[in-house]
Structure 1
Amino acid sequence: MKTSPFVRLVRHRWFDESDARRVVPPEVAERLQSRVAASERRHTGEVRFYVEGALPLSYLWRHLRDKVPIDQIVRERAVMIFSKLRMWDTAQSNGVLIYLLLAEHAIELVADRGVNRHVGTAEWKAMVDRLSLALSENRFEDGLTQALEEVSAVLVEHFPASESGNANDTPPPSGSNQLPDAPVVR
């Protein structure tokens, strides 16, 4: 069913950060952060969550004025967030963003070029479809955890931790994460 421009605009003005925080309250964010940290001990990749209530008006305007399909707009937003979070800055180009846009019930997985060399579009789409099912049933934490587990399995297969057990130790020389583990909720 096609959504009218007016309904879409109202929905994006209605959803905000409080909706994102309702879906990912502090205790869920803390558990997701711990799960990301545990995941990253098993591989050299970097995984981030970004949960957003609605698109900024500039993105909506492009959809409404220029008739850019909303799916394309959501993908462009996810790629922009990937860039803003500096996910492309990982040593092995193996960052993965799990992006959730509540106003559109949209999920995007954005992976850096190092990961995309090993994982096809069909595999990413299957992951998104499984996450979509959990989210449609309002099982946000379960769905995000499942997505993390699936992304982690891909990263463990193609970017396993070093023999020393430190996944993220070269680089940076400090042996710490290259990127924060906490989900971004906006």
Structure 2
Amino acid sequence: MSAINLFTAEEQQQIIQAIRAAEMETSGEVRVHLELLCPEPNVMDRAVQVFRQLGMEQTAQRNGVLFYLATDDRKFAILGDEGIDKVVPKDFWETTKNIMRDNFRQGRFTDGFCLGIERAGQQLRQYFPRLENDSNELSDEISH
């Protein structure tokens, strides 16, 4: 079984649509990555590995945001690259995680992701508005 199976095809499309909507008015990039198990003791260490594997540190303005979930381990992380991380409010990632966690605890994984992605998109739009020559630098598909 794969972690992607936590979501129906329709739910996957909802998450992808949330990513596309978040990226619509920003040069920032958002990715979602799912795994069954987190191979690292510290979920943030694994998020950093996945961030690099997906090439997210290669965005022009270092404004990528990764949402990582290990479904069977019930671990998740949000990792913003250095460009976005230095401009968002200090507690932004933690408050976003709390909103997502509340939804996850109620079994609303799709809602949790969509709300987290929407919040990240608001910050990205504020600090990294879409440029005239902007291109989608990274895939919007859910990786797993």
Same fold per superposition (TM over 0.5): yes
Amino acid at match of 1:139: R
1:156 matched to 2:115? The reply is no
For residues 41 and 181 of structure 1, the distance between their equivalents in structure 2, rounded to whole angstroms, comes to 12
Match of 1:62 in 2: none
For residues 122 and 46 of structure 1, the distance between their equivalents in structure 2, rounded to whole angstroms, comes to 20
Q: CA RMSD in A?
A: 1.5
- The residue correspondences of 1:49-68 to structure 2 (distance < 5 A) are 49-56=32-39, 59=40
Match of 2:137 in 1: 178
Match of 2:66 in 1: 97
Amino acid at match of 2:82: R
Post-superposition offset of 1:160? 1.2
Give the secondary-structure state (helix, strand or coil) at the position aligned to 2:91. Answer: helix
Count of residues paired in the alignment: 144
Match of 2:83 in 1: 114
Once the two structures are superposed, residues 114-135 of structure 1 have per-residue CA deviations (whole angstroms, 9 ceiling, x without a partner) of 0011024421111101100100
Which structure 2 segments of 5+ residues have no match? none
Give the secondary-structure state (helix, strand or coil) at the position aligned to 2:107. Answer: coil
For residues 4 and 85 of structure 2, the distance between their equivalents in structure 1, rounded to whole angstroms, comes to 31
Task: State the TM-score, normalized to the length of structure 1.
Answer: 0.72
Once the two structures are superposed, residues 151-184 of structure 1 have per-residue CA deviations (whole angstroms, 9 ceiling, x without a partner) of 001101111123x5xxxx34xxxxx310000111
Which structure 1 segments of 5+ residues have no match? 1-15, 60-69, 171-175
Larger fraction in helix = 1
**Contact 2:38 2:75 survives alignment (8 Å):** no
For residues 35 and 131 of structure 1, the distance between their equivalents in structure 2, rounded to whole angstroms, comes to 14
Give the secondary-structure state (helix, strand or coil) at the position aligned to 2:72. Answer: helix
Give the secondary-structure state (helix, strand or coil) at the position aligned to 1:54. Answer: coil
Which of 78, 95, 99 is 1:130 aligned to? Answer: 99
Post-superposition offset of 1:104? 2.7
**Identity score, percent:** 29
The structure number with the bigger radius of gyration is 1
My pick for the range that moved more, 77-86 or 34-43, is 34-43
